[in-house]
Amino acid sequence: MANNRTTVSASYIILVSAGSFLLAVLFFWISNLLAEKMQSLVLSVIFLFVVVMAGILADILGVSVTAASEAPLHAKAAKKIPGASEGVFLIRNADRVANLMNDVVGDIAGTVSGALGIALAVQILTYRQEFSQLVLNMLLTAVIAALTVGGKALGKRVALSRAEEIVYITGKILHGISIVTGKDFSTRSRKISR
């Protein structure tokens, strides 16, 4: 059964909106700086691909947490398997996690990838001036959109069919981060706000 609890408050909405603004400015500035400094078309394309993949992976996690069931992770958590408690925490905060992954990370990745596409077009035109800037911008925008939309469509299919597995893998990553940083992401340490 789907998780329909909400942990989103008005202060969270204000915080995530302000954070999104700052992150978008930061990522746009960094990507623009990298696009200007990178003289290699190959590195520019790789960087663009990484940004598109980040948006797709974030979308997969956002869908997975809303579709996953807690029961299999509770069974693992009872056996003290690392990452299971963190997975339960993600599912219990599915609305926040989905918002952060799908809306914040996904939308920022989409915006930045569009800006990178235009920067890549300018970079290509410095090497091959015979290309039409309008046509090149249109083609790059279309390719980026197709990769993003197609990747997210495939990602949603994977997310819905393997939701618990994806959440558990993410929980294991969070568990590893908690060992390094000391920040606990499990349900034992943080209560769900109503």
Residue 21 to residue 29: CA distance in whole angstroms: 12
Q: How does pLDDT run across 42-91, given as a tens digit for each residue?
A: 888 888 899 999 999 999 999 999 999 999 999 998 899 999 999 999 99
Residue 145 to residue 137: CA distance in whole angstroms: 12
The pair of three-digit structure tokens given for residue 147, joined into one six-digit string: 């990769």
**What confidence score (pLDDT) does residue 4 get?**
54
Residue 11 to residue 38: CA distance in whole angstroms: 40
pLDDT confidence tier of residue 5, bands split at 50, 70 and 90: low
Q: How does pLDDT run across 150-170, given as a tens digit for each residue?
A: 999 999 999 999 999 999 999
Query: Is the per-residue pLDDT at 14 higher than 80?
Result: yes
Number of domains in the chain: 1
Report, as an integer, the average pLDDT of 86-97: 92
In a domain, 193, yes or no: no
In a domain, 119, yes or no: yes
In contact, 84 and 77? CB cutoff 8 Å? yes
Cα 95 from chain centroid? 14
Mean of the per-residue pLDDT values for the chain? 85
**What confidence score (pLDDT) does residue 191 get?**
44
**What confidence score (pLDDT) does residue 7 get?**
62
In a domain, 186, yes or no: no
In a domain, 105, yes or no: yes
Residue 51 to residue 58: CA distance in whole angstroms: 11
In a domain, 187, yes or no: no
**What confidence score (pLDDT) does residue 194 get?**
36
The pair of three-digit structure tokens given for residue 16, joined into one six-digit string: 């995530």
Residue 185 to residue 57: CA distance in whole angstroms: 20
| Burial environment of residue 20 by CB neighbours within 10 A (0 to 12, 13 to 18, 19 or more) | middle
Q: Model-level pTM greater than 0.85?
A: no
The pair of three-digit structure tokens given for residue 181, joined into one six-digit string: 């940083």
Query: Is the per-residue pLDDT at 190 higher than 50?
Result: no
In a domain, 176, yes or no: yes
* Boundaries of domain holding 70: 10-181
Residue 149 to residue 76: CA distance in whole angstroms: 34
The amino acid sitting at 25 is: V
pLDDT confidence tier of residue 111, bands split at 50, 70 and 90: confident
The pair of three-digit structure tokens given for residue 148, joined into one six-digit string: 């993003």
